[in-house]
Amino acid sequence: MDIGKKVDMLVCSNNKQAYNVLKELLEISQQCNDLYPYFDTFVEMMNNKDNSYIRTRGLRLIAYNSKWDINNQVNSIIEEWLKHIEEEKPITARQCIKDTVIIAKNKPELIEIILEKLEKMNVIYDDSMQSLIYKDRQKAIRQIRQYTC
């Protein structure tokens, strides 16, 4: 199956199938820039109003493809991307927080804005998720600060 068809499958209603495709595409994104031409599709997914799974897939692929971002597309949408660290769905927020580290590593010019957003983050989740998100946030901040030394 070609990459375009796999990208299309990221928005299918079968979440298990879409997740398996996502794992495969993240692996590809670590190795080469074959998915970078689909950047606009990932931005559309990130902005999906109805499905947090689709948003998460788009956010993750944007982060993983920041490595190949020769056109500074990540830079132009970083504010929008970072809004998702305070996503209403805590699972999406946690994944986004963890992926800030990937963007910071690949786009050092964005470290300051990423750290600022993480440090100012102030959203309240249910008790069980609140401490997990706090720990994720602290870990991401620690890891990103290592890139500034």
What total number of domains does the chain contain? 1
Q: 52 pLDDT exceeds 80?
A: yes
Q: Is residue 63 a contact partner of residue 77, using CB atoms and an 8 Å limit?
A: no
- Distance, first Cα to last Cα, the chain: 43
* Its pTM surpasses 0.85: yes
83-129 confidence digits (pLDDT tens):
999 999 999 999 999 999 999 999 999 999 999 999 998 888 887 89
What are the Cα distances from residue 98, in Å, to 65, 70, 71, 118?
15, 23, 24, 11
Structural domain of 86: 3-146
pLDDT band at 149 (very low <50, low <70, confident <90, very high): low
Q: Is 12 exposed, middle or buried (0-12, 13-18, 19+ CB in 10 A)?
A: exposed
Q: What is the CATH number of the domain that holds 74?
A: 1.25.10.10
